[in-house]
Structure 1
Amino acid sequence: MKITVKGSTGNISKPLTQKLIAAGHTVTVVSSNADKAAEIEALGAIPAIGNITDVDFLTTAFSGADAIYTMVPPNFGATNLRAYMNQAGEAYAQAIKNADVKKVVQLSSIGAHLGEGVGPIKGIHDVEGILSKLDGVNIKFVRAPFFYTNFYGNVDMIKHAGILGNNYPADARLIMVHPKDIADVIFEELQNNFEGKSIRYLYSDESTPAGAAKAIGQAIGKPELPWVEFNDEQALAGLLQAGIPEEMSKNFVEMGTAVRSGAIWEDFDAHKPAQKSAISLETFAEEFASRF
């Protein structure tokens, strides 16, 4: 098959592209970064360099594809994150229509059943709604939970403050996934003959923030690494101090409140997969330690 993949050479798209090429598919990889073209070619894929809000560019990248994988990458420079995500969703929808694509696998998120109170996931909720209006297009929304790899953003916190923390308590639920496990599910769905619009949840492990801190702490030789709950103001101040722009920081804090309340997990619980994906929290913790 001819398949177009969004996500450049990221944590999901790179292993996904490698698996698709190994399976004999012809793959075009969409990236906004021209510097990635050589790396994409080295994978055996065809680079398509352009902006995901550019309908003409996307139409060309999607034309002739039997299936496409789409996602909206974070835009830390957006002054209105939700509006940016809606713009990207509308561009995807128009390009899918223009190119007459019939099969789409869209990366979504746990919490996308909610249109408010979930930070950046509000925009993902909107994108699901925009794409769902496309007639005659089969779409699988893959709703992923908290990425293990988000913990790489806490390396400085661990090294300088000796803690892990956020604006939810140590005993909150934390449902997590490895990007490679997401790549495996998307690889599978791109080759499945699904019809209509449907949602698929996945997860690699379930624990708590305290459990995550313990696993990571043991792996890096800091077995007493604690999880510290911040209030919302402290969490916002910490993100701003770390250089995260205000719009994104406020969205992250709001998402933390949904973890704290448990609202983010409600629809997942109603449709929980029978089996976990492959990579456990402890396995990721060893991976984290190797890069710490």
Structure 2
Amino acid sequence: MKIIVTGSLGNISKPLAEELIHNGHSVTVISSKPERQKEIEALGAAAAIGTMEDIDFLTETFKGADIVYAMEALNAGSFFDHSLDFIAATTQIGRNYKKAFERSGVKKIVHLSSIGAHMSNGNGILESHYRVEQILSELPADVSIKFMRPVGFYYNMFAFIPMIEEQRAIIQNYSGNEKEPWVSPLDIAAVIAEEIEKPFHGREIRYIASDEASPDEVAAVLGKAIGNTDLKWQAIPDQQMLDNLTKAGMNPDTAKGFVEMNAARRGGILYEDYNQHKPVLGKVKLEDFATEFAKVYHQ
């Protein structure tokens, strides 16, 4: 099959492209960076250089594709861009995709959504995923869409490193011994590759997770990996968390979205739909990630 992969050679898109090529598919990888072209072609894929903001580019690239894997991605550092409305910008990419799908005639889509996409509000920055799912669901009934909803990414924990170094603790506006799901990009790529091979039927939703661990367990596992067995996960009030993020330079509205998203983790509000549709857990466990975390921590 001819498959279009968005997301350049990111943490999900690169292993996904490699798997699809290995399975014998003709793969085109979209990237906004011309310097990525040689690396994309070295994988055995074709490169399409353009942006998610360019509807004409997307339309031409999608034409003739059997399946499109679509994800919304903003530039690194977008959380700290004070001129950017993160949710609005991400939602606009969803609208661009919808127009490009309509114009190109694509009938099968795998869309990277997120945990929290079942919530129209109260989910902070994850609201953009709810909005995009709603936008894509407006496509005609003969367009089949698989909404992939991964949970919190392991690699988001790399953001804990500065606070561990400075304050000897993981500090967030939630904590405790209530388990929550985490996921590796490798497991996300594996699930998407699996779904691409399966039949498409209307609108489908699949959650993706690798492991489940409470904040206390995360602190214990990461602490052991870095040689700090006293590492603790501590909770602070929402306002203090917001102040910390804005002082660090984050866009105030984006910071509010982060705080609200974390607040929804308390009591499992964010995970209510996930818990009703739990997936089989993937291969990459927290202990596996902890080894990678320790290498980065000690660099």
Scaled by the length of structure 2, the TM-score of the pair is 0.93
2:50 maps to 50
Cα distance, 1:117 vs. partner?
1.0
Amino acid corresponding to residue 185 of structure 1 in structure 2:
V
Matches within 5 A, 1:133-148: 133-135=138-140, 136-148=142-154
Cα distance, 1:65 vs. partner?
0.9
Cα distance, 1:183 vs. partner?
0.3
Establish whether residue 192 from structure 1 lines up as the match of residue 202 from structure 2.
no
1:237 maps to 243
Amino acid corresponding to residue 121 of structure 1 in structure 2:
L
The equivalent position to 1:282 in structure 2, one of 287, 292, 297, is 287
The answer to whether the 8 Å contact 1:173/1:259 transfers is no
Amino acid corresponding to residue 148 of structure 1 in structure 2:
Y
Establish whether residue 248 from structure 1 lines up as the match of residue 254 from structure 2.
yes
1:159 maps to 165
Question: Alpha carbons of 1:266 and 1:8: their partners in 2 closer, same or farther (altered >3 Å)?
Answer: same
1:181 maps to 187
The answer to whether the 8 Å contact 1:172/1:259 transfers is no
What whole-Å deviation, never above 9, does each CA across 1:196-242 have from its counterpart, x for those lacking one? 00101121111111111111111111111110112112212222233
Matches within 5 A, 1:52-67: 52-67=52-67
2:70 maps to 70
2:30 maps to 30
Scaled by the length of structure 1, the TM-score of the pair is 0.95
Establish whether residue 6 from structure 1 lines up as the match of residue 6 from structure 2.
yes
Counterpart secondary structure, 2:132:
helix
Measured in 2, the distance between the counterparts of 1:215 and 1:133 equals: 43
Establish whether residue 267 from structure 1 lines up as the match of residue 267 from structure 2.
no
Counterpart secondary structure, 2:148:
strand
Measured in 1, the distance between the counterparts of 2:196 and 2:51 equals: 23
**Comparing 281-290 and 169-178, the one that deviates more:** 169-178
**Comparing 38-47 and 135-144, the one that deviates more:** 38-47
1:124 maps to 129
1:91 maps to 96
Cα distance, 1:103 vs. partner?
0.8
The answer to whether the 8 Å contact 1:111/1:265 transfers is yes
Q: Where in structure 2 are there 5+ consecutive unaligned residues?
A: none
What whole-Å deviation, never above 9, does each CA across 1:123-158 have from its counterpart, x for those lacking one? 100100111111111100011100011001111111
1:108 maps to 113
| Superposed structure 1 runs of 4+ greater than 4 Å apart | none
What whole-Å deviation, never above 9, does each CA across 1:256-278 have from its counterpart, x for those lacking one? 111124211000111112x2111
Amino acid corresponding to residue 233 of structure 1 in structure 2:
Q
The answer to whether the 8 Å contact 1:215/1:285 transfers is yes
* % identical aligned pairs: 45
Cα distance, 1:17 vs. partner?
0.8
Count the aligned residue pairs. 291
Establish whether residue 291 from structure 1 lines up as the match of residue 270 from structure 2.
no
Amino acid corresponding to residue 123 of structure 1 in structure 2:
S
Cα distance, 1:42 vs. partner?
2.2
Measured in 2, the distance between the counterparts of 1:247 and 1:34 equals: 32
What whole-Å deviation, never above 9, does each CA across 1:244-289 have from its counterpart, x for those lacking one? 322322211110111124211000111112x211111111111211
Measured in 2, the distance between the counterparts of 1:36 and 1:244 equals: 28
Cα distance, 1:243 vs. partner?
3.2
Give RMSD over aligned pairs: 1.4
Q: Where in structure 1 are there 5+ consecutive unaligned residues?
A: none
Measured in 2, the distance between the counterparts of 1:284 and 1:104 equals: 30
Amino acid corresponding to residue 284 of structure 1 in structure 2:
F
The equivalent position to 2:216 in structure 1, one of 197, 200, 210, is 210
Measured in 2, the distance between the counterparts of 1:182 and 1:164 equals: 26
Counterpart secondary structure, 2:139:
coil
What whole-Å deviation, never above 9, does each CA across 1:145-177 have from its counterpart, x for those lacking one? 000110011111112211112111223432111
The answer to whether the 8 Å contact 1:102/1:138 transfers is yes
Measured in 2, the distance between the counterparts of 1:237 and 1:51 equals: 34
Measured in 2, the distance between the counterparts of 1:237 and 1:9 equals: 34
